[in-house]
Amino acid sequence: MGVPEDTIVFADSGGFDFANEELDTTPEDTLETQYQLKADIYGTVDIPIARENRAAENQRRIDQSTQFALEASDHHDCDAHLLASVHGYDPETIRNNIQYLEKHGEFDGYALGSLVPIRTDYKKVTKLVIAARQATDKHLHVYGLGGLVYQPLLLYLGVDSFDSSAFIRSAGNRNYLIPGFGGEELRNIEDMDMLPCPCPVCGQRKLDDIREDRTALTQHNLWALATELRRFRYIAESDRNVEHYLDLRFQGNEVTQRAYETAKQQVRRLT
């Protein structure tokens, strides 16, 4: 893809492809594919759960994903980091799974899945993330979340990494992401001499050009997420008060502010 040599590549198993389809790989085959991709981090084969499934079916999927992780641990023999995929819709299940995997396998961290279908239930998501963070000091990844709302929330909750197609989906909906604010539909942005973002895309293109070029909008949105990430890292590493920053960051939007307040209440009960 022409990225710099020091780029870190994380190859997961594409678990959502198996949400409604028959599993067509094995833990050993997936490790080989990830090795051929020269990935730096591997995610174990997993079968996501869903709210509409019966409890017994979700438990079967949780158990199967756990077994796949242990099989991957047995076959893993290279320098790449291995993250075990973990699922569950209650904190106890998350904690028990991570503790079981920690005892019976060898992993460099854990990846929390099945959160995309419940992403609007901020209270539940934050409880699950906190449960995972409490269960391990190792690297914690979250599958599928990471837009302008969730990215700072996940960092606040102690998540180390995350992946998301939010910047692509937002561009598909003609949604222009603005660091520090959120998303705005392009149709609501009138003609202006200077866009509110100085990224390489917006600094060289006119608004009308970006309106017509979905690829350019996608690239801008990715820059917006990167800018948001760097801002948070600066606040955290400069020993400033992260909560003060987030109090300001989420002002003016009732939904995001409520999500942050929910997360803050849960974090403070733990400290």
In the chain, domain spans: 10-144, 168-269
DSSP for 161-186, please give it: EE---HHHHHHHTTEEEETTTEEEEG
pLDDT band at 187 (very low <50, low <70, confident <90, very high): confident
Distance from C-alpha of 217 to C-alpha of 68, rounded to nearest angstrom: 38
Beta carbons of 224 and 199 less than 8 angstroms apart: yes
Beta carbons of 127 and 92 less than 8 angstroms apart: no
User: CA gyration radius for the chain?
Assistant: 20
Distance from C-alpha of 41 to C-alpha of 21, rounded to nearest angstrom: 25
- The SS3 of residue 104 is helix
Distance from C-alpha of 11 to C-alpha of 37, rounded to nearest angstrom: 8
Q: Model's pTM, two decimal places?
A: 0.89
- CA 224 to chain centroid: 16
Q: Which contiguous run of DSSP H or E holds residue 70?
A: helix 55-75
- The per-residue pLDDT for range 68-81, each reduced to its tens digit, is 999 999 999 999 99
Q: What is the pLDDT of residue 21?
A: 66
Mean pLDDT of 208-234: 91
Beta carbons of 106 and 134 less than 8 angstroms apart: no
Distance from C-alpha of 130 to C-alpha of 266, rounded to nearest angstrom: 8
The answer to whether residue 115 scores a pLDDT higher than 80 is yes
Q: What percent of the chain has pLDDT over 70?
A: 96
Q: What is the pLDDT of residue 182?
A: 78
Distance from C-alpha of 151 to C-alpha of 229, rounded to nearest angstrom: 7
- The per-residue pLDDT for range 6-27, each reduced to its tens digit, is 888 999 877 766 656 677 889 9
Beta carbons of 181 and 256 less than 8 angstroms apart: no
Comparison of pLDDT for 99 and 207, the residue scoring more: 99
CATH class of 10-144: alpha beta
Q: What is the pLDDT of residue 1?
A: 63
Closest CA to 100 of 110, 89, 90, 113: 110
∠ CA 165-167-168, nearest 5°, is 65
Q: What percent of the chain has pLDDT over 90?
A: 55
